Every structure is written in C-alpha cells, then in structure tokens.
Amino acid sequence: MTSLAGIEPKRIQASLLQALHWLRMKWPNRKGYRFDLLMGRFVVLIQPALSADEQAQFAKELCQRYGGVTDQDDEWPDVACIHAALWLFVSQGLIYPRLRRVATDGYPTVIEFVIPTPAGIRVLDQPAHPLQPEFLVRLRKSWPAIPDEVTARFEDAAECLARGLIRAAVVMVGLATELVIQEAHVRVVTSGKASKHSTMRDRLSDLLHAANGISKPEDQHVLRAALAALEVIRTARNQASHPGAAFDNPAEAEELIVLSSHHLPVVWKLWVEGGSS
C-alpha cells in the first residue's frame, strides 16, 4: 500500500507548495483550491514513480481518510503529515483555510479549501524564496563551500521571517553578508591589493577597487554587480540595528535574503575560492 512513510517533512511541505503553485498557474483567477485538487497534484509530485492510476488511487485514499480516524481512534498517519504541513503554512501566514464539518465519527472540522495569502503568493511565485522549505538545500547545491556560519545566519534569517520578526531577519542576512565581505577582504589584503580596514564600508570600497583591476571582463562585471547588491544589504542591516527606521515590510526582507543568496556565492567563489586577479 502506498504511503508517505519515510518521506522527510520538508519534502512534503515543498511538494504541497509546488502543488499549490501548479494550481495557481492552471487557474489564475481562483482565490482558493479544493483539498481534493491539491491532493491530486501533490501525489503526482511526491510519488512520481507510481503509475497515473496508482497516483489517482492514492490521492482518492488520502481524501477519503481525511477527517476520519483509524481503529485506534487516531488520525491516519499520512493525513497527519499533510495536516501538519498545511497548519504550518497557516502559522506562517502563507495560507488560510476554509473549514467544513465532517461526520460525527470523525474530527469536527477539516480543511475544505486552501487560500494563499499575499505572503503565500510571493512564496509560490518565487522558487528561491527563503520560506520555501528547500531554500537552504538549493543554496548549498549552488554554493557547496558555503561556510557553516553563513548557513546558520541564513537559517536564522528565514526563521525570523517565518515568525514575522522582520528587523531581526534583516540583521541576520546582514551578518551573513558581513562574514563574506570580511573573508573576501582578507584575501585582497593578503594579495597586496588593499590595506587592512575595520569598517565594512571601507572593506567594500577596497573590494570594489580591486574588482576594477580584475583581468577577465565577465568576472569584473559580475563582481561589481554583486558588490553593489552587498552595499544595499549592508546599509539595510545598519539601519535595522539602530532605532528609528521602520522595518515592517516582509517583502523587503524577503528581497534582501534572495538578493544575498544570489550574490554572496559570486563574491565567495571568485575571490575566496578562485582568487580572481
């Protein structure tokens, strides 16, 4: 019998989001999506090795058992995995449910429709969004040599974002950025192309000057673009660390995290790993 046993929760979460994205693309004018439609696409994604008939049967079983109980008067394990993921999305503000009552021998209410919120739509439309369950997995694949400390700060930033701590999320991604700036600057100083400086602004200025001297035009171009992005992140991090500036727009924090995930690997690979000259 087909089941979700042994499948990591993050993969279940990722497949549910991918299924929601597929439904959103198929029916762009709909505000919400029925649970049975969500399960149909979810099973295709989570169990791709099954035949089409087997996938349809598994999705049907999930829907039939949803809201029912086992002989031990407990929730079905597969349904519990899906329930946990959907209510996690609710707690993160990504979706809200429309509920309906079920038979008296089952649970009182179940999710009948899933409706993405504005925050949820941003997650669905951006595969590299920091609230995507596999955000860090993708980052590690694109940046195998990512330092543990940088990974930890990205984790912190995503967790803060999920809990609505926008200022803290900006500070965390700023710390990740500063770690990379610091390491790249050490390499530039060691090569004799800059002097030691204590401030991040001066270090970034040194890196920009050193980028102008890189022989390969394509490397020079991507480094200059990356350093410009790092300056935006550094400035936001400084503002977030001091009273006065308001940080209540999650979309801005999301953009900063995505921006850093694109550009920090460039600086690291070309300067720290590659020693560009």
CA count, 13 A, side-chain hemisphere, 62: 27
Whether residue 93 contacts residue 119, with contact meaning beta carbons closer than 8 Å, is answered with yes
Whether residue 253 contacts residue 239, with contact meaning beta carbons closer than 8 Å, is answered with no
Fold of 127-273: Four Helix Bundle (Hemerythrin (Met), subunit A) (1.20.120)
* Residue in 163, 154, 165, 123 with CA at minimum distance from that of residue 233: 154
Residue 18 has pLDDT above 70, yes or no: yes
Q: How far is CA 206 from CA 181, 188, 236, 261, in A?
A: 10, 8, 20, 22
Cβ-based neighbours of 277, under 8 Å, separated by 6 or more: 191, 213, 214, 215
Task: Indicate the pLDDT class of residue 255, thresholds 50, 70 and 90.
Answer: very high
Residue 194 has pLDDT above 70, yes or no: no
- Top pLDDT among 147 and 73 is at 147
Q: Is 214 helix (H, G, I), strand (E, B) or coil?
A: coil
CA distance 109 to 124: 26
Whether residue 147 contacts residue 170, with contact meaning beta carbons closer than 8 Å, is answered with no
Whether residue 151 contacts residue 173, with contact meaning beta carbons closer than 8 Å, is answered with no
Task: Indicate the pLDDT class of residue 69, thresholds 50, 70 and 90.
Answer: low
CA distance 231 to 156: 21
Domain limits, the chain:
9-121, 127-273
Whether residue 89 contacts residue 95, with contact meaning beta carbons closer than 8 Å, is answered with yes
CA distance 164 to 209: 38
Residue with tokens 């930890």: 152
* Residue in 88, 87, 62 with CA at minimum distance from that of residue 77: 62
pLDDT tens figures, 178-188: 999 999 988 88
Please count the other Cβ atoms lying within 10 Å of the Cβ belonging to residue 158.
Answer: 22
Backbone angles phi, psi at 252, to 5 degrees: -65, -40
pLDDT tens figures, 122-179: 999 988 899 998 899 999 999 999 999 999 999 999 999 998 899 999 999 999 999 9
Q: Where are the alpha helices (DSSP H) in 47-165?
A: 52-65, 77-91, 118-125, 135-142, 148-162
Task: Indicate the pLDDT class of residue 214, thresholds 50, 70 and 90.
Answer: confident
Handedness of CA 24, 26, 28, 32 (dihedral sign): negative
CA count, 13 A, side-chain hemisphere, 10: 8
pLDDT tens figures, 92-131: 999 999 988 766 655 567 888 999 999 999 999 988 899 9
